């Protein structure tokens, strides 16, 4: 009778650890988390965090597609796009992309005169509500 080989416990632990870490990373990046405060909006998605003071917002527009850009770091999976990108026309200015669904319209938020954020949520009603809130905040700040 041939003896069966047993897997070493360390290999089993490594496999389980990789699966748990992958699941945690997916959960952290699965959606955009926003926190609205009196003077700013904070966006968190996985490793990426951005704080946008309402007084520094210049404009908020609807965009059907995000332009072609080079990714500095970030990731894409399914219809999601997250990370820090660079436009070839302005390589010294980062473009933050927090898009939960590439198939839906995105908010193009300009702030500090030259920086850009593309943002949307899985729920288009949530994106619409954010557009209305940011438009109101911009109109209050001359």
Given a contact cutoff of 8 angstroms between Cβ atoms, the answer to whether 49 and 61 are in contact is: no
CA distance 85 to 119: 13
Categorize the per-residue pLDDT at 142 as very low, low, confident or very high, splitting at 50, 70 and 90.
low
Match 């210049």 to its residue by tokens: 58
CA distance 116 to 108: 7
Inter-CA distances, 128 with 32, 48, 104, 122, 134, Å: 15, 22, 11, 11, 10
Tell me what the pLDDT averaged over the chain comes to. Answer: 87
CA distance 97 to 106: 10
Q: Residue ranges per domain, the chain?
A: 9-140
Q: What are the pLDDT digits (tens) for 28-57?
A: 667 888 999 999 999 988 788 899 999 999
Q: What are the pLDDT digits (tens) for 11-24?
A: 888 888 999 988 87
CATH of 9-140, one of 2.60.40, 2.30.29, 3.40.50, 1.10.357: 2.30.29
Residue 90 has pLDDT above 80, yes or no: yes
């Amino acid at each position: 009778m041939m003896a069966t080989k047993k897997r070493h416990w360390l290999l089993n632990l490594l496999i389980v650890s990789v699966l748990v870490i992958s699941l945690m990373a997916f959960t952290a990046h699965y959606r955009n988390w926003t926190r609205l405060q009196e003077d700013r909006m904070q966006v968190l998605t996985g490793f990426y965090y951005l704080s946008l003071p309402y007084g520094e917002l210049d404009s908020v527009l609807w965009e059907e597609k995000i332009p072609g850009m080079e990714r500095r770091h970030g990731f894409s999976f399914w219809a999601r796009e997250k990370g820090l990108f660079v436009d070839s026309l302005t390589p010294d200015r980062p473009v933050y992309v927090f898009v939960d669904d590439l198939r839906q319209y995105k908010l193009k938020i300009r702030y500090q005169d030259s920086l850009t954020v593309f943002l949307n949520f899985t729920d288009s009603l949530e994106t619409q509500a954010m557009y209305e809130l940011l438009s109101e905040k911009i109109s209050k700040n001359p």
